Amino acid sequence: MNPRPARHARRARLPSLLLAALACSAALLGGCQRQEAGQGATGGQETQTLRIGKQFGIVYLVLDVAEARGLIEQQAKAEGLNLKVESRQLSGGSAINDALLGGAIDIAGAGTGPLFTIWDRTRGRQEVRGVASLGNFPYQLVSTSDTVRSIDDLGAQDRIAVPAVGVSVQSRILEYASAQRWGQDKALKLDAQQVALPHPDAAAAIISGGSEITAHFSTPPYQQQELARNRKAHVILDSYQVLGGPSSATVLYATAKFRQDNPKVYHAFLAGLDEAARFITAHPEEAAELFVQRNPGSDKAQVLEILRDEQVQFKIAPENTLGLGKFMQQVGAIKQAPTAVGDYFFDDPLIAGGS
């Protein structure tokens, strides 16, 4: 066997290997961190399909408007990406969190309660944090019982519908209210009376009556529908009362890996949301019409009234969320105590100043 051809081949490869090494060195010395269009921070291709998990109600209107008007795709196109946006409707924070951690969705939409739960659960692993708020909405606990005027009056026979018992933001706010009323050792006093039910089903039960459901901790527009269609329905608790003012009850969140691997998609998503929030504020009638189209049977006048309510604010920076997180740690619902919004929300100029 003649070794010369092998030695010659090795010598022939040396110049190309040397050139490659010199090119890499030059890139390092020059601080070159350029990425190909559509590539993520790790050099891989950014996702071409953005999958968003959401739930029910007007609280998701920012997402609905962004999707209907193609705002996220437009922002992605400006970044040189051809992005497809898909939304998947689920019910309850547990289902949303499972879908996110299971890889079925890229961005999750749920209450601040589920955000704190998954943030605490994934610290040092998937590192889930908030991406944006969907706005400020008062959530109301509606009862149909003549003898119930506050949570003090709720008896053992009352059944309270929430999206997810002990996980959803409604469930957590009710625990927070219980702690404020009876002390932290009684924070879970009403958990046994909660029933997991999607908002549309719970609203139907309240409106029709005759079921075991006698109360529903709801969201717009379901709480307004209940109050308008059942003369016995009345409000016994308001989330703004418990949280001390306007607050972001519903938020969006994702894993650190998704944000790192898809910086352009992430920016396009936030920019599209911001544009949608500003559109709703400037054009409430068009936004109301869009909601009615997507939710047949909705009363446009009622939806428009909600959008124009001064207590309802469409903005993507979180507001007044820290208190609930601190409470959840104090009662053992999460292990880590949040000290600032930056602990559980990713930094971004579009949500700067959040609280």
Structural domain boundaries in the chain: 49-137+247-351, 140-243
* Alpha-carbon span 208 to 80, nearest angstrom: 51
Residues 6+ apart with CB under 8 A from 286: 279
* Alpha-carbon span 142 to 325, nearest angstrom: 24
Give the mean pLDDT of 71-92.
94
Coil, strand or helix at 191: helix
Residue 249: C-alpha distances to residues 133, 283, 304 (Å): 8, 23, 20
Q: Given this structure, which CATH class describes domain 140-243?
A: alpha beta
Q: What is the pLDDT of residue 212?
A: 94
Q: Is there a common fold for 49-137+247-351 and 140-243?
A: yes
Residue bearing tokens 């869009």:
290
% of the chain at pLDDT higher than 90 = 80
Q: What is the pLDDT of residue 39?
A: 64
Please list the alpha-helical segments (H only) found in 164-299. 169-182, 199-208, 222-229, 239-243, 256-261, 263-282, 284-294
User: Is the separation of the CB atoms in 130 and 252 below 8 Å?
Assistant: yes
Strand order across the 140-143 sheet = 194-196, 159-162, 213-217, 140-143, 234-238
Structure tokens, 66:
């962004």
- Candidates 90, 34, 56, 206; CA nearest to 98 is 90
* Alpha-carbon span 164 to 81, nearest angstrom: 37
Q: What is the pLDDT of residue 56?
A: 86
**Structure-model confidence comparison of residues 283 and 167, the more confident one:** 283
Please, what is the average pLDDT of the chain? 89
Q: What is the pLDDT of residue 43?
A: 58
Say yes or no to pLDDT of 258 above 80: yes
Residue 13: C-alpha distances to residues 5, 18, 19, 22 (Å): 12, 9, 10, 14
Q: What is the pLDDT of residue 232?
A: 97
Residue-wise pLDDT tens digits, 170-185: 999 999 999 999 999 9
Residues 6+ apart with CB under 8 A from 297: none
Question: In terms of residues, how long is the chain?
Answer: 355
Q: What is the pLDDT of residue 41?
A: 61
Residue-wise pLDDT tens digits, 184-226: 999 999 999 999 999 999 999 999 998 999 999 999 999 999 9
CATH T-level assignment (fold) for domain 49-137+247-351: D-Maltodextrin-Binding Protein; domain 2 (3.40.190)
Say yes or no to pLDDT of 262 above 90: yes
Residue-wise pLDDT tens digits, 12-53: 443 443 344 434 333 333 333 333 446 666 556 999 999 999
